[in-house]
DNA sequence: CTCCATTGCGCG
DNA sequence: AAAGCGCGCAATGGAG
């Protein structure tokens, strides 16, 4: 059963039951914002699927009232998928002109809170039926597509992801500011005021200045630093660490150390801590579908780039544990399943996939296996990776053929589609124009070269899209399944009935192919079991009976730094 | 002053 | 442009 939720201009909530085809079925109710959570809670036992425009805007209303829902359909996210998918290209939704559903949402939080806003205009222009019509179009597009089952799974997974994202932002990641502060002080020296360098950093800056003989040099200025390096005879064209690493000169060691610590200070220093850690929790804003391939993005706080350096500050509460799980070699396993390459799937059965490739005699070392695989999925042509590719192609012809086919499609400007139906965007007009230019009778050699290089570039994008995007789908299904099973977990032993989320295991972090669950210590074993079985379930959802393993590394720890 | 591109580096 | 995908963010410095 569907329950459509729509917000009126004055902040009230309209709820309307819909039939399986998305048509109004029964009478609607008008609720105030305050009444809505209790209403939702009362309906949850019937496991309705809540249909709303934007989970990130409406769900916090429920979360702040302590109410969580099982299932949702996020119209904005699902629209984006169906609009682009080659599987629904001929649907009404696929053929329509751009509408408000195709425009980025205004980033104002809580539109109902203030009086007259842009949102009121929306509501006057787009009443209830606009939302119902959109939902009907989406259901029809799925129903009439060649792969309704896959698309339904994708939309459910995407929407579940939106629920999880809102919940994780709301709950936050346990973060010990005292541990973080101690770590910063150990590395950088005691905290100093804004604009000043901590002691350790200042000393390194002095060493750098002395080594290049420029007492006033600001090591944070790339142009100045580059000039100074050239001045002392170092033939570098940039100040990148990997390039400096190769050189022998007294300035190199302090400079590399400076760069590392300066990065720590600016990216995850005290200022970051003050800004993002509230009451012992890190609350990043996750953006489901924020990356073209379907991966999540984040806004603020750099949650997807938490350096290993500071992970020690992520510590479970007293009496609690962190269960950290990581899908091992996810993308190559996805590739094996996508291409039904049984030899490659076999190489990863019950073991590290790269080790399996070595054991099969394809290459000599795990490092070679890894660099060759990554190269195949990213489109490397030269170097070690390029040299090893033929051996992979011989051992795993189906897998490599799939990546090549995806690349060729991109080079022609065509889109590619993931396992569940997310399609890559088409290249823009400038790309098309450059290609057209190369076919012009008057085209120069340079025109052709430019077109070819640009075509290859887009080919590398589509080549990777199909793997990265399908892996993102697997990860969403995995996490959705974890969430579902966690909620069914009996909370015996915690002295709690289970309605209070403060006492139940819950997801607190997600990083492309890695999840973290914060759980009462007594339930850690059960959580590990759930995380593992959810991976198998996700594999079956995407690939049916195809015999591919999705191996996990799972660790129950007190601190994130202990995982891996 | 604000806006924007560039550089560099963190993550998968 | 590291050799090859996808991101976010901070700092700098030039342009307006």
In the numeric block, which tokens belong to residue A429? 């007009």
Q: What is the pLDDT of residues A205-214, one digit of tens each?
A: 999 999 999 9
Class of domain A177-273: mainly alpha
Q: Which of A56, A81, A61, A77 is nearest to A15 (CA)?
A: A61
Q: Is the CB of A514 under 7 A from strand C?
A: no
Percent of chain A surpassing pLDDT 70 = 94
Q: Is the CB of A288 under 7 A from strand C?
A: no
The spacing between the Cα labelled CA in A360 and the C1' in B3, in angstroms, equals 56
DSSP string, A503-514: GS-EEEEE-SSE
Q: Nearest nucleotide (C1') to the CA of residue A242?
A: C2
Q: Is the CB of A380 under 7 A from strand C?
A: yes
Parallel, antiparallel or unpaired: strands A29-31 and A13-18: antiparallel
The spacing between the Cα labelled CA in A312 and the C1' in B2, in angstroms, equals 38
The spacing between the Cα labelled CA in A425 and the C1' in C4, in angstroms, equals 20
Q: Nearest nucleotide (C1') to the CA of residue A236?
A: C2
Q: Is the CB of A114 under 7 A from strand C?
A: no
Mean pLDDT of A213-236: 94
Percent of chain A surpassing pLDDT 90 = 86
Q: Is the CB of A238 under 7 A from strand C?
A: yes
Q: Are A289 and A208 in contact (CB under 8 A)?
A: no
Mean pLDDT of A93-102: 93
Task: Choose between A382 and A456: higher pLDDT.
Answer: A456
Q: Is the CB of A242 under 7 A from strand C?
A: yes
The spacing between the Cα labelled CA in A288 and the C1' in C6, in angstroms, equals 14
Q: Nearest nucleotide (C1') to the CA of residue A275?
A: C9
Helix (H) or strand (E) holding A539: helix A524-543
The spacing between the Cα labelled CA in A306 and the C1' in B9, in angstroms, equals 12
Class of domain A2-170: alpha beta
Q: What residues pair up with A324 in beta bridges, in sequence order?
A: A516, A555
pLDDT of residue A124: 38
In the numeric block, which tokens belong to residue A7? 């917000």
The spacing between the Cα labelled CA in A112 and the C1' in C5, in angstroms, equals 40
Chain B footprint bases within 7 A of protein beta carbons: 7-12
A500: pLDDT strictly greater than 70: no
Q: What is the pLDDT of residues A149-178, one digit of tens each?
A: 999 999 999 999 999 999 999 999 999 999
Q: Which of A358, A356, A343, A346 is nearest to A401 (CA)?
A: A343
A557 Cα distance to chain centroid: 23
Task: Choose between A285 and A129: higher pLDDT.
Answer: A285
Mean pLDDT of A5-11: 90
Task: State which residue has its Cα closest to the C1' atom of C10.
Answer: A266
DSSP assigned state of A549: -
The spacing between the Cα labelled CA in A204 and the C1' in C12, in angstroms, equals 20
Which pLDDT band, with edges at 50, 70 and 90, does A497 fall under? very low
Chain C footprint bases within 7 A of protein beta carbons: 2-14
Which pLDDT band, with edges at 50, 70 and 90, does A10 fall under? confident
Helix (H) or strand (E) holding A530: helix A524-543
Measured CA to CA, the distance from residue A381 to residue A394 in angstroms comes to 17
Task: Choose between A192 and A495: higher pLDDT.
Answer: A192
Q: What is the pLDDT of residues A448-458, one digit of tens each?
A: 999 999 999 99
Q: What is the pLDDT of residues A260-317, one digit of tens each?
A: 999 999 999 999 999 999 999 999 999 999 999 999 999 989 999 999 999 999 999 9
The spacing between the Cα labelled CA in A98 and the C1' in C11, in angstroms, equals 38
Mean pLDDT of A81-90: 97
Burial A522-544 (b: 16+ CB within 10 A, else e): ebbebbbebbbebbebbbebbbe
Measured CA to CA, the distance from residue A215 to residue A555 in angstroms comes to 49
Which pLDDT band, with edges at 50, 70 and 90, does A433 fall under? very high
pLDDT of residue A116: 38
Q: What residue ranges do the domains of chain A occupy?
A: 2-170, 177-273, 283-329+472-562, 331-470
Q: Is the CB of A300 under 7 A from strand C?
A: yes
Which segments of A47-147 does DSSP mark as H helices, in order? 55-64, 75-84, 92-95, 118-125, 128-143
A505: pLDDT strictly greater than 70: yes
The spacing between the Cα labelled CA in A307 and the C1' in B10, in angstroms, equals 6
pLDDT of residue A499: 46
A127: pLDDT strictly greater than 80: no
pLDDT of residue A503: 86
Which pLDDT band, with edges at 50, 70 and 90, does A106 fall under? low
A493: pLDDT strictly greater than 80: no
Spell out residues with C-beta < 7 A from strand B: A 222, 226, 238-242, 259-260, 263, 267, 302, 304-309, 468, 511-514
pLDDT of residue A502: 74
CB neighbours of A510 closer than 8 A, spacing ≥ 6? A164, A168, A286, A296, A475, A479, A516
Would you say domain A331-470 falls under CATH 3.40.190.10?
no
Q: Is the CB of A293 under 7 A from strand C?
A: yes
Q: What residues pair up with A418 in beta bridges, in sequence order?
A: none
Q: Looking at the structure, give the CATH architecture of the domain made up of residues A283-329+472-562.
A: 2-Layer Sandwich (3.30)
CB neighbours of A541 closer than 8 A, spacing ≥ 6? A153, A477
Mean pLDDT of A22-51: 95
Least confident of A162-176, A269-283, A376-390, A495-509: A495-509
Mean pLDDT of A221-247: 93
Q: Nearest nucleotide (C1') to the CA of residue A385?
A: C3
Q: Is the CB of A385 under 7 A from strand C?
A: yes
Parallel, antiparallel or unpaired: strands A277-278 and A2-7: unpaired
A111: pLDDT strictly greater than 70: no
What average pLDDT does the structure give for chain A?
Answer: 92
């Amino acid at each position: 059963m569907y329950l459509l939720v729509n917000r009126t201009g004055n902040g009230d909530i309209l709820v309307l039951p819909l039939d399986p085809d998305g048509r109004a079925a029964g009478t609607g109710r008008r609720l105030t914002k305050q009444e809505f959570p209790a209403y939702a809670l009362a309906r949850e036992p019937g496991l309705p699927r809540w249909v709303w425009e934007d989970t990130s805007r409406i769900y916090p209303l429920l979360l702040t009232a302590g109410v969580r829902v099982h299932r949702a359909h996020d119209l904005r996210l699902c629209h984006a998928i169906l609009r682009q998918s080659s599987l629904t290209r001929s649907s009404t939704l696929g053929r329509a002109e751009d509408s408000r559903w195709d425009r980025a949402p205004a980033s104002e939080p809580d539109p109902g809170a203030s009086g007259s806003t842009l949102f009121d205009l929306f509501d006057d222009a787009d009443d209830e039926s606009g939302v119902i019509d959109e939902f009907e179009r989406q259901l029809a597009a799925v129903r009439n597509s060649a792969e309704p089952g896959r698309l339904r799974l994708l939309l459910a997974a995407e929407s579940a992801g939106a629920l999880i994202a809102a919940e994780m932002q709301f709950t936050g990641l346990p973060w010990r500011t005292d541990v973080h502060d101690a770590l910063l002080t150990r590395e950088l020296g005691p905290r100093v005021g804004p604009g000043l360098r901590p002691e350790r950093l200042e000393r390194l800056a002095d060493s750098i200045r002395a080594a290049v003989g420029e007492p006033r040099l600001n090591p944070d200025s790339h142009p100045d630093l580059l000039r100074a390096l050239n001045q002392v005879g170092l033939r570098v064209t940039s100040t990148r660490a990997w390039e400096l690493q190769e050189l022998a000169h007294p300035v190199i060691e302090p400079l590399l150390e400076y760069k590392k610590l300066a990065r720590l200070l600016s990216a995850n220093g005290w200022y970051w801590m003050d800004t993002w850690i509230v009451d012992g929790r890190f609350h990043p804003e996750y953006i489901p579908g924020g990356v073209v391939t379907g991966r999540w993005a984040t806004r603020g706080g750099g949650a997807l780039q938490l350096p290993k350096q500071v992970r020690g500050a992520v510590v479970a509460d007293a009496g609690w544990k962190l269960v950290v799980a990581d899908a091992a070699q996810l993308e190559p396993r996805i590739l094996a399943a996508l291409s039904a390459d049984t030899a490659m799937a076999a190489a990863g059965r019950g073991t590290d996939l790269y080790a399996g490739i070595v054991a099969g005699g394809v290459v000599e070392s795990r490092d070679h296996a890894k660099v060759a695989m990554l190269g195949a999925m990213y489109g490397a042509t030269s170097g070690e990776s390029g040299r090893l590719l033929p051996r992979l192609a011989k051992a795993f012809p189906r897998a490599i053929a799939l990546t090549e086919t995806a690349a060729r499609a991109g080079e022609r400007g065509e889109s590619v589609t993931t396992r569940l139906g997310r399609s890559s965007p088409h290249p823009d007009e400038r790309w098309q124009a450059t290609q057209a230019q190369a076919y012009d009778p008057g085209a120069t050699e340079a025109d052709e070269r430019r077109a070819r290089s640009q075509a290859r570039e887009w080919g590398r994008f589509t080549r990777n899209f199909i793997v990265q995007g399908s892996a993102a789908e697997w990860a969403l299904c995995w996490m959705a399944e974890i969430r579902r099973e966690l909620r069914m977990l009996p909370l015996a032993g915690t002295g709690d009935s289970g309605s209070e989320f403060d006492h139940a295991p819950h997801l607190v972090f997600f990083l492309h192919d890695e999840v973290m669950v914060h759980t009462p210590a007594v339930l850690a074993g059960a959580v590990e079991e759930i995380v593992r079985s959810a991976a198998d379930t996700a594999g079956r959802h995407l690939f049916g009976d195809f015999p591919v393993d999705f191996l996990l590394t799972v660790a129950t720890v007190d601190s994130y730094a202990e995982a891996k």
